[in-house]
Amino acid sequence: MSADLGAPAHPIRGLEVPERTSGSAPPEPTSSAGLAAPAAVAHASDRGARIVAVAIALAWHVAIGLPAVLAARAEFAVPAVVLGGWALVAVVGAVAGVRLLRGSPLPPWPLAGVLLAVDVAVFVAVGERQLFTAANWVWGTLGWFFVLALWGRRVVGLIALLTTHAVIALVAVLGHGPDPADVARYVMYVYGTFSLPVAVFVGSAVIVSLARERAAVSAAGHGLAAERDAAEHALRERRDRLALASSAAGRVLGELAAGQVDPGDPEVQRRCMLAAARLRRLIAESDDVPDPLLHELRAAADLAERNGLPIDLVTIGTPPPLPVEIRRRLADPLNGILADARGWARLTVVSGPNEVVVSLVTPDREGPEATGPPPGEHDDGQVEHLYERDGSIRWAQTQWRR
């Protein structure tokens, strides 16, 4: 019954946010029920209608047909056939109802054949006196079983069965001697047996198709909402990155543009280099590469090299996958020292499955600390920083341990 529940894919899966490596999961749909397949909604709605149809057929057969048949059993031409027909239709109808509710209906045309055979037999066996009484139970009840037999099919089949039913009745009526009053009653009976089953049959089909449409509309609405959520998420990420980039480069660029600082000033040049290094790393961060940490460090090394600093980048081992936050904390503290470096620099990365050590060594220069972290050690959670200068070299090291 629920085999087709998962058929339409969740539209959200196609909308991965661009920041693959940030570790943030794609936004979850706000309501999973809202994304249920339209087919499933239609299915649930159809099930309600089936229950109604089965209940009507069996209730009519038992509550109205049975008492009348029992009351008039002595007056039938062949009582055994009328009673036997009733019992046969009760059994076949019950089986057909159960099978219909379980989603595996009995084959419709053999079932219809059995019903029509009972129809003929009862009309023959009921006798003239009981022809138009409630004891001739096939008049009113059989139409509902036709509905069960042809559930979910086109209404033409039902009309054909009901027409056959009417023809059988007409033959019976005429066979007992044509009487204008009987013909008039016959027309009323036919109208009654046609109208209600056809109305239920068509009505339920319309309800199911309406439910399917409503569900499709609702699913489309939820798909749109999910798309909007994903777009907002991507926008937020982009804003965050813009804020990072602005804090990296915005100020020094602004001051340069306003003429407040002198591009010839070594301090301004150093700030520019630092800003460029941060921007370069931010750009590298979003690249999809197998070794993001090495890629980001290589980006920093490239920039330093382009600024005329001979730099050695030596890597040993392959870093395990690290979240972007850890990578930032491993690489960022070294940028300041790289921006300050003169002469040469040696950048090394030693990686194992549970540890990554990044080190930057540059010659120590005269003068105070221009930038970079304060000398000494500190530890911000999983990443340990170490910085020292000993007169011959400046040595910064960041170390991550699992």
Residues that bind another protein in the complex, under the rule CB under 8 A: 312, 314, 316-317, 346, 348, 350-352, 357, 359, 361, 388, 390, 392-393, 395, 397
Nearer to another protein, 303 or 361 (CB): 361
Within a 10 A sphere around the Cβ of 192, how many other Cβ atoms?
A: 13
CB of 365 to another protein, least distance (A): 15
Nearer to another protein, 115 or 357 (CB): 357
CB of 17 to another protein, least distance (A): 34
Residues 253 and 275 sit within 8 Å (Cβ to Cβ)? yes
How distant is the alpha carbon of residue 217 from its chain centre? Answer: 15
Nearer to another protein, 251 or 378 (CB): 378
CB of 393 to another protein, least distance (A): 5
Three-class SS of 352-379: ECCEEEEEEEEECCCCCCCCCCCCEEEE
CA distance linking residue 359 with residue 357, whole number of Å: 6
What number of H helices and E strands is found in the chain? 11, 6
Nearer to another protein, 241 or 389 (CB): 389
Nearer to another protein, 141 or 351 (CB): 351
Residues 351 and 318 sit within 8 Å (Cβ to Cβ)? yes
CB of 230 to another protein, least distance (A): 40
CB of 363 to another protein, least distance (A): 10
Tokens in use for 257? 């543009």
Q: What crossing angle do the helices spanning 38-59 and 138-149 adopt, rounded to 10°? A: 160
Nearer to another protein, 19 or 355 (CB): 355
* Coil/strand/helix, residue 291: coil
CB of 390 to another protein, least distance (A): 5
